[in-house]
Amino acid sequence: MSKLNILRYPDARLYKIAKPVTVFDERLKTLIADMAETMYDAPGVGLAATQVDVHERLVVIDVSEEGNQLIAFINPEIIWSSEDKRVYDEGCLSVPGIYDGVERPSEVKVRALDANGQPFEMHCKDLLAVCIQHEIDHLNGKVFVEYLSPLKRNRIKTKLQKEEREQQRKAGR
C-alpha cells in the first residue's frame, strides 16, 4: 500500500466528472487499499478517487469511531433521499482546515458495487448519509464549498492559495 497525493481546492482536476468502473481486478483492489491508507492517514472519514486524481467512480468511507469499518462504494448512485433535510458542518480533505454548514437530505439509499463487482444497497443516515453525498459530489466534479456563498467560496480559495504559496516558499521552490 502507498499513500496518495490529495488534490487541493481549487485544483481544476477536482471538477472532472469520474467515469464508471468497468474492470474489477487487482489494480482496483490496490487503489482501494491505497485510498483507504491515504484517508486514514489524513485523517478523514471519506475519500473519492477524484481527490487523488483518479477519475473513476470509486469512494471509500469509514465513519466508525475505531476506523475499522471501511466500505468501498464503486459506481455509487443515490436511489432514494429523504424529504427531511439537515445542516451538517462539513469538511473536506481537499479543502483542509475549512468547515461549514451544508444542507442535505438526512437519509439516503445508495446502490453500488463492491470490490468484486457485486451489487449492494445501503440505507445511510447521519454522518454516513452526509459522507456518501459529499463523496458522490466529488465524483460528479463538485466540491462542498460550491454550496456556500460566492463570498465565502472566494475567501476560502484565497486562503488556500496563500497557504500553498507559503508552503512552496518554505520548501525553497
Helices of type H across the chain: 26-41, 126-139, 150-170
- Cα atoms in the 13 Å half-sphere on the side-chain side of 49: 25
- Cα atoms in the 13 Å half-sphere on the side-chain side of 42: 29
Residue in 65, 103, 135, 164 annotated catalytic: 135
| Cβ 158 vs Cβ 150: under 8 Å | no
134 is known to lie in a ligand binding site: yes
Distance between alpha carbon 67 and the CA centroid of its chain, in Å?
16
135 is catalytic: yes
138 is known to lie in a ligand binding site: yes
**Alpha carbon of 12 to those of 50, 61, 115, 143, 144: distances in Å?**
11, 24, 28, 11, 14
19: CB partners within 8 A, 6+ apart: 55, 56, 57
**Residues in the annotated binding site for Fe cation:** 92, 134, 138
Mind telling me the catalytic residues? 135
**Residues in the annotated binding site:** 92, 134, 138
